[in-house]
Structure 1
Amino acid sequence: MNHFELTGGELACEGVPLTRIADEVGTPVYVYSTATLERHYQVLREALVGAGLGDPLIAYAVKANSNVAVLSTLGRLGAGADTVSEGEIRRALAARIPAERILFSGVGKREAEIAFALDAGVLEINIESEPELELVEKVARAKGVRASVALRVNPDVKAGAHDKISTGKADSKFGIALPDVERLYAKASNSPGLRPVGLACHIGSQISDLASMDEAARKMRGLVERIRAEGLSLERLDLGGGLGVPYFNQPEPPPPSEYAAMIAGVVKGLDVQLAFEPGRMIAANAGVLLARVLYVIERPDGRRFLVLDAAMNDLLRPAMYDAYHDIRPVKPREGEAVAYDVVGPVCETGDTFARDRKLPPLQPGDLVAFMTAGAYGATMSSEYNSRPLAPEVLVKGDRHAVVRARPSYEDMLSRETAPDWL
């Protein structure tokens, strides 16, 4: 569910017409709905608690949408943060998410980042390899502390809608291979610099069925039982995120209630604190990218190009993943649908959002909204072609605020300097 609906003949976010935001802020611009963010978090939490899973930690995956206002919105509801860099930890802290609700994941943590995480007092560091285990131990001992760690397991389960977002197979760079987990957990347990608290896994993103998640969860339960059988303490099990969202051209993914029931069946009687790392399922449908039509170009062969002021630097997913985003006119015109190639102004053929997409008739100056753009939209954007980053706007009821301003060209140039020999 999202809160972007036609009201009085035009698309609005909650109680704010998108035309108002476009007129005030300009385009392209990301627009986020507070009501949708809150609802998605609450529905997931209610499903997990209602399935008898205790008081789970829902650590929102910051990489999906790292805007501090978004993080603060979720943090006020009790969400934690799953982070993969020092920068993301700093964002979570800036959003007043307590350190004891922050997880630090990622396959390539630098020594300085590990030191920062320990100084900040994060809940746990998710270890992805034996060399990383040794580095965390070294940093912790130098600081005279015991680092709380969990081992991220690669359960060798294929999942995810695209190979680039599938992270659970044995050939993936992520996680510790199944045969090494028990040995490394024992190694961590015997270290004066480490305090192993549990296991973690995350097998991919945009998962549309529960079979792969069920398989991974069962493998994780087996590991928990074997590690405890060795007399070692294990208190937390992090089952990651990855449950898909509807991109309008795909089957409806399982609801959180079915996901929670599946997890409850797998972990029944295990007596472990559970953690989850949802990102896309909370943020995706909570945001749109608003763009304006620059030109409508018709070729002699009848092909029509809809040229927008938004480009692949603003929304990379179609170019990188062949991802589908529903495109909706903000003020739909009457008339028969027309097939367009929807493109941006960047000098790349890959700067194409859709081909032969049937849309209502559009004219230069019209506004369109890319739906389900709240996750992996702004966070993956860049200044390619020296295009300023799109601003971000958060809506709550009939109010809205710019939560990241569009940088000026002077702002962009001020970050660069010429050496003295020039």
Structure 2
Amino acid sequence: MDHFLYRDGALHAEDVAIAEIAASVGTPFYVYSTATLTRHYKLFEEALSPLPHLICFAMKSCGNLSVVKTLGALGAGVDVVSVGEYLKAKAAGVPGERIVFSGVGKTRDEMRIALEGGIRQFNVESEPELFALSEVASSMGLTAPITIRVNPDVDAKTHEKIATGKKENKFGIPISRAREVYAEAARLKGIDVVGIDVHIGSQLVDLVPFEEAYLKVAELTRQLRADGHDIRRLDLGGGLGIPYERSNAAPPLPLDYGAVIKRTVGDLGCELEIEPGRLISGNAGLLVSKVIYVKSGEERDFLILDAAMNDLIRPSMYGAHHDIVPVVEPAPATLPQPYDIVGPVCETGDTFAKQRALPPMRAGDLVAFRSAGAYGAVMASEYNMRPLVPEVMVHGDQFAVIRARPTYDEMINRDSMAPWL
């Protein structure tokens, strides 16, 4: 469920008409619903209750300061994968003890900054990283709390570019070597082993891979405790999918996911962490765009929008589907017609959808890309010298620009002229 609904024939974000935002901000723009973010976070809270837990929002899905602040104020932690995300989470008011640092390529400088500022844990991905963290922490006279990410070799049955739990993926250490690596970690200075980390992929619509991975983690927990390790925390990752196509069957609910967690690892007495991003932010955001031209081709008609692949890259990068709807609700008897929906970037790959059914459209009409709150604005670029899309947040009947569209002068002035020119 989200809070983007038609009211009196016009699409609204909570109590604000999308057309009103477009008139104020211009198009294209992203818009997020506070009520939807809040509802989705609370669904995970309910799913894991009464077990001790922390829900760490995966900031890579939607990193705007206001989004992170909203979730942090509800009690969320944050899962970060760079020192930039770490510093932004701190700027949003999330304390270090609620920030988990993931990612395969943490540098020594990033480790140092996180240790100085406070960190809940590092999710260590490799032995070289483990040795580097030991050196940094011990040189600072500090102890780094860690989990070690294990790769359970489980097929998440998702897109190959977002699968992370198979043995050929770059993430984590093979679960078959876990006991050896944990023994090594226990001997290192500046390291406090607090638990186990696992994450098998993103946009999972089947709970079976989760269950398979978590059962392996449960067995590993018992083995490591028998080896003398104080395993008191399990980071179970994220990855629960969202319904990008409303005509398809809905993915499992957070309550169903929580039930899997409870029956696989709920009896271990560990504090549990999960790191959902997409399911919290995905359906909480829209990308709104305007039709520039309706072009009749020899075999098909094109809607040429003012949004492009640089604004929402998922269709070009992953072949991803987003429902695209008119901002003005069509009359019930309106007959849809097929369009190829494209942007103005000079690449054939700048295509959002082919032969997508929409009511007859005209230049100046507004359309909204649903489920665009995750991996939308965060992956945007200024390719073709196109300004980054502004972000807007709605709260009831209020809206505010939470990231402004840069001017062309601002973009140009970021460059420096070489002194010999």
Q: What is the TM-score normalised by the length of structure 2?
A: 0.98
Contact 1:83 1:102 in 2 (8 A): yes
Contact 1:160 1:205 in 2 (8 A): no
| Counterpart in the other structure of 1:63 | 60
Contact 1:332 1:360 in 2 (8 A): no
Match of 2:121 among 124, 129, 135: 124
The CA deviation at 1:333 is: 3.8
| Counterpart in the other structure of 1:4 | 4
| Counterpart in the other structure of 1:361 | 360
| Counterpart in the other structure of 1:408 | 407
Match of 2:100 among 99, 103, 108: 103
Distance 1:257 1:405, change over 3 A: same
The CA deviation at 1:300 is: 3.1
| Counterpart in the other structure of 1:417 | 416
Question: Deviation digits for residues 303-340 of structure 1, max 9, x if unmatched?
Answer: 10000000000000000000000000001344310100
Contact 2:6 2:329 in 1 (8 A): no
Match of 1:320 among 317, 322, 325: 317
1:338 aligns with 2:350: no
The CA deviation at 1:151 is: 0.2
Contact 2:79 2:275 in 1 (8 A): yes
Contact 2:55 2:274 in 1 (8 A): yes
Question: Deviation digits for residues 54-96 of structure 1, max 9, x if unmatched?
Answer: 2311000000000000000000100000000000001110110
Alpha-carbon distance between aligned partners in 2 of 1:160 and 1:385, rounded to the nearest angstrom: 35
The CA deviation at 1:171 is: 0.2
| Counterpart in the other structure of 1:22 | 22
1:114 aligns with 2:143: no
Alpha-carbon distance between aligned partners in 2 of 1:330 and 1:28, rounded to the nearest angstrom: 13
Question: Deviation digits for residues 95-128 of structure 1, max 9, x if unmatched?
Answer: 1011100000000111111111111111000100
Contact 1:160 1:242 in 2 (8 A): no
Question: Deviation digits for residues 325-384 of structure 1, max 9, x if unmatched?
Answer: 000000134431010000000001000000000111110000000000000000000000
| Counterpart in the other structure of 2:211 | 214
Match runs of 1:256-295 below 5 Å: 256-295=254-293
Alpha-carbon distance between aligned partners in 2 of 1:161 and 1:268, rounded to the nearest angstrom: 26
Contact 2:291 2:366 in 1 (8 A): yes
Structure 1 residue runs of 4 or more that deviate by more than 4 Å after TM superposition: none
Distance 1:267 1:400, change over 3 A: same
The CA deviation at 1:160 is: 4.8
1:372 aligns with 2:371: yes
Alpha-carbon distance between aligned partners in 2 of 1:171 and 1:211, rounded to the nearest angstrom: 20
- Describe the SS at the equivalent of 1:245: coil
Compute the RMSD of aligned alpha carbons. Answer: 0.9
The CA deviation at 1:250 is: 3.7
- Describe the SS at the equivalent of 1:206: coil
What is the total number of aligned residue pairs between the two structures?
A: 418
Please say which of residues 16-25 and 177-186 is displaced more in the overlay. 177-186
1:44 aligns with 2:44: yes
Alpha-carbon distance between aligned partners in 2 of 1:326 and 1:370, rounded to the nearest angstrom: 6
Alpha-carbon distance between aligned partners in 1 of 2:128 and 2:59, rounded to the nearest angstrom: 25
1:241 aligns with 2:233: no
* One-letter identity of the residue aligned with 1:271: G
The CA deviation at 1:44 is: 1.1
Alpha-carbon distance between aligned partners in 2 of 1:288 and 1:117, rounded to the nearest angstrom: 33
Alpha-carbon distance between aligned partners in 2 of 1:158 and 1:262, rounded to the nearest angstrom: 17
Alpha-carbon distance between aligned partners in 1 of 2:252 and 2:208, rounded to the nearest angstrom: 11
* One-letter identity of the residue aligned with 2:272: L
Percent identity of paired positions between Structure 1 and Structure 2: 52
The CA deviation at 1:136 is: 0.3
Question: Deviation digits for residues 216-259 of structure 1, max 9, x if unmatched?
Answer: 00011111100000111111000000001111254211111111
* One-letter identity of the residue aligned with 1:219: K
The CA deviation at 1:2 is: 0.4
- Describe the SS at the equivalent of 1:291: strand
Alpha-carbon distance between aligned partners in 2 of 1:160 and 1:90, rounded to the nearest angstrom: 34
- Describe the SS at the equivalent of 2:321: coil
- Describe the SS at the equivalent of 1:369: strand
1:155 aligns with 2:152: yes
Alpha-carbon distance between aligned partners in 2 of 1:169 and 1:405, rounded to the nearest angstrom: 40
Contact 1:81 1:92 in 2 (8 A): yes
| Counterpart in the other structure of 1:33 | 33
Alpha-carbon distance between aligned partners in 1 of 2:106 and 2:83, rounded to the nearest angstrom: 9
Alpha-carbon distance between aligned partners in 1 of 2:232 and 2:218, rounded to the nearest angstrom: 12
Alpha-carbon distance between aligned partners in 1 of 2:119 and 2:371, rounded to the nearest angstrom: 31
| Counterpart in the other structure of 2:297 | 299
Match of 1:80 among 55, 77, 82: 77
| Counterpart in the other structure of 2:13 | 13
* Unmatched 5+ stretches in structure 1: none
Alpha-carbon distance between aligned partners in 1 of 2:72 and 2:343, rounded to the nearest angstrom: 35
* One-letter identity of the residue aligned with 2:384: N
- Describe the SS at the equivalent of 1:355: strand
Alpha-carbon distance between aligned partners in 2 of 1:115 and 1:30, rounded to the nearest angstrom: 34
- Describe the SS at the equivalent of 1:410: helix
Q: What is the TM-score normalised by the length of structure 1?
A: 0.98
Alpha-carbon distance between aligned partners in 2 of 1:152 and 1:21, rounded to the nearest angstrom: 43
* Unmatched 5+ stretches in structure 2: none
Alpha-carbon distance between aligned partners in 1 of 2:15 and 2:321, rounded to the nearest angstrom: 27
Distance 1:131 1:362, change over 3 A: same
Alpha-carbon distance between aligned partners in 1 of 2:156 and 2:103, rounded to the nearest angstrom: 19
